[in-house]
């Protein structure tokens, strides 16, 4: 019936494309990467939910005020915040086509990320040394999974950043590299957003509990 209706006029409009639609080479990369980030966000949401449920179950073990050093957390938060704006400066230099400026700002961003990672690993080492291991209590299991997953993301972010430094050094600011820098920018700022949740819920609220 429906085919009758469309052909009845004789000059029915065609709703399909005769010529295959041509997309830009990286036209859908950014939205695809954004959707990956949103799904990553759901992983962190479930880890936050676990921490919210189990964060008070100390099993007579150490509690946040015995373990956390807020000065240390403040320094690592500062490093991550600073790395967000240095990455922003790398993006601005990339838009202006300044290869050296982009590389320098990316190196500074990577170093700040390494400072953050070093402080997190130092904290983990310190806690494990004191016997606050993941298997000690539900609170510590939830803590190590949540903060550890974030630290793992930062680790892969730094690996990606080093890879990009090599690629930009070898090929320059070609369109493919620009897309990669933009995707890592989203990833990096996304990790910063997750860290806001971590220091608010785990460290600051943990000290108040």
Partner 1 sequence: MSAHTSTDTLASGTHAHPNPDAHGDGHDHGTRRTYLIGFALSVILTAIPFWLVMGDVIADTTIATLVIMGFGVVQIFVHMVYFLHMNTKSEGGWTMMAAIFTIIIIVIALSGSLWVMFHLNTNMMPGHIMNPADLI
Binding site for partner 1 (CB under 8 A): 17, 19, 21-22, 24-27, 29-31, 34-35, 38, 41-42, 45-46, 48-50, 52-53, 70, 74, 77-78, 81, 84-85, 88-89, 91-92, 95, 175, 179, 182, 186, 189-190, 192-193, 196-197, 199-201, 204-205, 207-209
Q: Which residue, 45 or 121, has its beta carbon nearer to partner 1?
A: 45
Rounded to the nearest whole angstrom, what is the least distance from the CB of residue 166 to partner 1 in the complex?
A: 23
Q: Which residue, 37 or 128, has its beta carbon nearer to partner 1?
A: 37
5 backbone dihedrals φ, ψ, rounded to 5°: -60, -40
Q: Which residue, 5 or 24, has its beta carbon nearer to partner 1?
A: 24
Rounded to the nearest whole angstrom, what is the least distance from the CB of residue 61 to partner 1 in the complex?
A: 18
Rounded to the nearest whole angstrom, what is the least distance from the CB of residue 205 to partner 1 in the complex?
A: 6
Q: What is the C-alpha to C-alpha distance for residues 180 and 159, in angstroms, rounded to an integer?
A: 13
Q: What is the C-alpha to C-alpha distance for residues 67 and 14, in angstroms, rounded to an integer?
A: 68
Q: Which residue, 91 or 165, has its beta carbon nearer to partner 1?
A: 91
Rounded to the nearest whole angstrom, what is the least distance from the CB of residue 121 to partner 1 in the complex?
A: 21
Q: What is the C-alpha to C-alpha distance for residues 177 and 188, in angstroms, rounded to an integer?
A: 16
SS (H, E, C) 48-111: HHHHHHHCCCCCCCCCHHHHCCHHHHHHHHHHHHHHHHHHHHHHHHHHCCCHHHHHHHHHHHHH
Q: Which residue, 131 or 207, has its beta carbon nearer to partner 1?
A: 207
Cβ atoms of 152 and 71 within 8 Å: the answer is no
- Give the contacts of 50 (CB within 8 A, at least 6 positions apart): 142, 145, 146
Rounded to the nearest whole angstrom, what is the least distance from the CB of residue 3 to partner 1 in the complex?
A: 25
Nearest to 124 by CA among 149, 93, 88: 149
């Amino acid at each position: 019936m429906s085919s009758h209706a469309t052909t009845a006029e004789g000059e029915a409009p065609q709703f399909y494309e005769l010529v295959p639609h041509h997309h830009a080479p990286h036209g859908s990369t950014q939205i695809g990467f954004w959707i990956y980030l949103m799904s990553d966000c759901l992983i962190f949401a479930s880890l936050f939910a676990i921490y919210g449920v189990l964060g008070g179950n100390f099993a007579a073990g150490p509690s946040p005020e015995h373990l956390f050093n807020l000065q240390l957390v403040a320094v690592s938060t500062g490093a991550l915040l600073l790395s967000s704006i240095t990455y922003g400066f790398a993006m601005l230099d990339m838009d202006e086509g300044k290869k050296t400026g982009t590389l320098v700002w990316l190196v500074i961003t990577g170093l700040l990320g390494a400072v953050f990672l070093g402080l997190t690993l130092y904290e983990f080492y310190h806690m494990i040394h004191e016997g606050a291991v993941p298997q000690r209590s539900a609170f510590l299991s939830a803590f190590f999974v949540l903060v550890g997953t974030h630290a793992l993301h930062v680790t892969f972010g730094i690996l990606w950043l080093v890879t990009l430094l090599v690629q930009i050094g070898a090929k320059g600011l070609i369109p493919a590299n620009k897309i990669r820098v933009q995707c890592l920018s989203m990833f990096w700022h996304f990790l910063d957003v997750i860290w806001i949740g971590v220091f608010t819920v785990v460290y600051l609220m943990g000290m108040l509990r």
